[in-house]
C-alpha cells in the first residue's frame, strides 16, 4: 500500500470517521477495497461516556447491512423495537404499529451511539485493508482535472500524503469536503433543540417506542436495554424551542427531573433521569449534488434531517449500501473507482429516497410543531385514518423498517461478490 514513507496509496480515502464514515470504511474493506479513514476526533474521547448520549433507531434493513459487513456481531447491546406508538397530546386518536401485523421481525433496534462506536473500533481489528488516521486533520485535497486520469491527493495535518481514486466526504453537516468542492446546500434551522437523556423506570417498556406530539414539539421515548443493575431504561429525545431548551438544560438536576416527569407521564411507573443530559440544535440541510470529480458525499455531509422519525443515520447507512455496491461492481469490472458514471449511478440511486424522506420529515416537523386548532384536528384525523386503513398502515410499517423501494443488496442482508 505504501509508495514512499510520506505518500501512501489507497483506493478510497474517507474524510470523517463518524457513524457513517467509519461504517463506509468497514463496508469497503470487508469487500476487498483498501481505504483510509481520516477523522479529526480522538477515538478514545469519542468512545467516552460523555461524548454522545444519543441512542439511534437502526431500521431492520440497516441492521441487515451492518450484519452483512461484519459490524453487527460487535454490537454489544441492542434493544429490538416491537411496537411504535404515535400520539398527539391528549387526543384519543393515535397510531399504533405492531410488528406482528407484518411478520415476526422487529421494526429495528435501538443502539447507543457509544456502543456503535465501540463496535466500529472492534471491527477495525479484523480489517487490514482499512487504516484509520485519528486524531488527524486534512490540510489539502487536490482532485485533479476530469479526464486527466490522475489520482486524488490529500495532505494530512502531519504532512502525510495520500493518493486515492475516490474521496468520500463523510465529515458531517459542516463538511469541509463539500464546501471545498463548491457544492451548495439548501439549509435552515428549526429554531428547536433536541434534549437527550436517559430515564430509568419501574415498569418494562416491552420494546415499544413512543412518539408524543406535545405543544412544544415531539417527545420521543425510545426503548433501551436494561442496565447492568437490571433497571429498565428509555432514551428521551425531547424537542423544545431553542430558548426554552436552554432554560431547561440549565435547571438543577431535581428540577430537570421534575420537568421530565411532567411530560413522561405515569405509564412506566416511577421514573427518573439517570446520567448526563445533552442538547443538539436541530437543522435541515440538503446538498445540491452528492458527487463531483473523484468525490462522493454520504451521511450528514449530503443531507441532514430533523430526528422526528429517527431516520438521519438510516439515510446515511442507505448511502453506504448503494455506494459500496457501485464501487464493488466497478472494481470487479476493472473500472476506475472515481469514474464519473460509477459515481452518477450512486447519486441516481440515492436522490429520490433522500429527497422524499427529507421532505416528509420536514413536513411532519412543521405539522406537529404547532398548536393551532384546525391543524391539530387535521393531523389527529390523519393519524386516525392511517391507523384504520390496513394497507396504508402496512406500507408505513415497512417504511419504518427501511424495506421499501429498490434496495441495494446489502440492505437485503446479502454480501457482495
Ligand X SMILES: Cc1cc2nc3c(=O)[nH]c(=O)nc-3n(C[C@H](O)[C@H](O)[C@H](O)COP(=O)(O)OP(=O)(O)OC[C@H]3O[C@@H](n4cnc5c(N)ncnc54)[C@H](O)[C@@H]3O)c2cc1C
Interacting residues toward ligand X by CB under 6 A = 15-21, 38-41, 54, 56-57, 137-138, 170-172, 176, 194, 196, 237, 280, 299-300, 307, 310-314, 316
Minimum CB–partner distance for residue 392 and ligand X (Å) = 23
CA distances from 314 to 282, 405, 408 (A): 17, 14, 13
Minimum distance of ligand X from residue 155's CB (angstroms): 12
Write down the least CB distance from residue 242 to ligand X, Å.
13
Q: How far is the CB of 133 from ligand X (least distance, A)?
A: 9
- Report d(CA 227, CA 162) in Å as an integer: 43
Task: Give the residue with the Cβ less far from ligand X, 222 or 327.
Answer: 222
Query: 152-182 in b/e burial notation, b at 16+ Cβ within 10 A?
Result: bbbbbeeebebbbbbbbbbbbbebbbbebbe
Task: Identify the sign of the CA torsion 7, 8, 11, 14.
Answer: negative
Q: What whole-number distance in Å separates Cα of residue 368 and Cα of residue 83?
A: 21
Three cell numbers written together for 357 = 424522506
Q: How far is the CB of 31 from ligand X (least distance, A)?
A: 20
Cβ nearer to ligand X, comparing 194 with 408: 194
Compare residues 74 and 303 and give the one whose CB is closer to ligand X.
303
The smaller minimum CB distance to ligand X, of residues 340 and 360, is found at 360
Q: What is the largest CA-CA distance in the chain?
A: 69
Instruction: Give min distance, CB of 287 to ligand X, in A.
Output: 12
Contacts for 168 with CB less than 8 Å, ≥ 6 apart: 12, 13, 14, 15, 21, 24, 295, 296, 297, 298, 323
- Helices then strands, counting H and E runs in the chain, come out as 11, 22
Based on CB atoms, which residue is closest to ligand X, 102 or 176? 176
The answer to whether the Cα torsion of 45, 35, 175, 5 is positive or negative is positive
- Of 93 and 313, the one with the shorter C-beta distance to ligand X is 313
Amino acid at each position: 500500500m505504501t509508495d514512499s514513507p510520506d505518500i501512501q496509496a489507497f483506493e478510497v480515502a474517507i474524510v470523517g470517521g463518524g457513524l457513517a464514515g467509519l461504517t463506509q470504511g468497514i463496508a469497503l474493506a470487508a469487500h476487498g477495497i483498501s481505504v483510509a479513514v481520516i477523522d479529526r476526533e480522538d477515538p478514545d474521547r469519542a468512545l467516552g461516556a460523555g461524548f454522545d448520549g444519543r441512542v439511534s433507531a437502526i431500521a431492520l434493513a440497516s441492521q441487515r447491512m451492518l450484519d452483512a459487513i461484519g459490524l453487527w456481531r460487535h454490537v454489544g447491546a441492542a434493544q429490538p423495537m416491537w411496537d411504535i406508538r404515535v400520539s398527539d397530546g391528549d387526543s384519543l386518536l393515535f397510531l399504533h404499529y405492531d410488528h406482528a401485523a407484518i411478520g415476526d421481525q422487529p421494526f429495528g433496534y435501538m443502539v447507543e451511539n457509544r456502543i456503535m462506536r465501540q463496535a466500529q473500533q472492534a471491527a477495525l481489528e479484523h480489517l487490514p485493508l482499512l487504516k484509520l488516521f485519528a486524531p488527524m486533520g486534512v490540510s489539502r485535497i487536490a482532485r485533479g482535472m476530469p479526464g486527466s486520469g490522475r489520482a486524488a491527493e490529500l495532505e494530512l495535518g502531519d504532512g502525510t500524503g495520500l493518493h486515492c481514486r475516490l474521496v468520500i466526504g463523510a465529515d458531517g453537516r459542516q463538511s469541509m469536503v463539500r464546501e471545498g468542492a463548491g457544492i451548495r446546500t439548501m439549509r435552515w434551522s428549526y429554531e428547536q433543540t433536541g434534549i437527550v437523556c436517559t430515564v430509568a423506570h419501574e415498569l418494562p417498556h416491552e420494546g415499544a417506542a413512543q412518539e408524543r406530539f406535545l405543544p412544544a414539539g415531539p417527545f420521543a421515548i425510545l426503548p433501551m436495554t436494561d442496565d447492568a443493575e437490571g433497571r429498565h431504561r428509555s432514551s428521551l429525545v425531547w424537542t423544545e424551542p431553542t430558548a426554552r431548551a436552554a432554560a431547561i438544560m440549565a435547571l438543577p438536576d431535581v428540577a430537570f427531573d421534575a420537568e421530565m416527569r411532567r411530560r413522561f407521564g405515569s405509564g412506566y411507573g416511577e421514573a427518573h433521569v439517570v446520567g448526563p443530559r445533552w442538547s443538539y440544535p436541530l437543522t435541515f440541510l440538503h446538498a445540491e449534488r452528492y458527487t463531483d470529480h473523484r468525490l462522493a458525499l454520504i451521511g450528514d455531509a449530503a443531507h441532514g434531517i430533523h430526528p422526528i422519525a429517527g431516520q438521519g443515520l438510516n439515510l446515511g447507512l442507505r448511502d453506504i449500501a448503494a455506494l459500496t455496491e457501485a464501487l464493488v461492481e466497478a472494481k470487479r469490472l476493472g473500472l476506475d473507482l472515481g469514474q464519473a458514471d460509477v459515481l452518477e449511478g450512486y447519486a441516481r440511486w440515492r436522490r429520490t429516497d433522500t429527497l422524499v424522506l427529507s421532505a416528509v420529515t420536514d413536513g411532519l416537523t412543521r405539522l406537529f410543531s404547532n398548536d393551532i386548532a384546525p391543524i391539530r384536528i387535521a393531523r389527529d384525523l390523519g393519524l386516525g385514518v392511517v391507523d384504520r386503513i390496513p394497507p396504508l398502515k402496512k406500507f408505513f410499517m415497512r417504511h419504518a423498517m427501511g424495506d421499501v423501494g429498490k434496495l441495494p443488496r446489502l440492505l437485503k442482508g446479502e454480501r457482495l461478490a
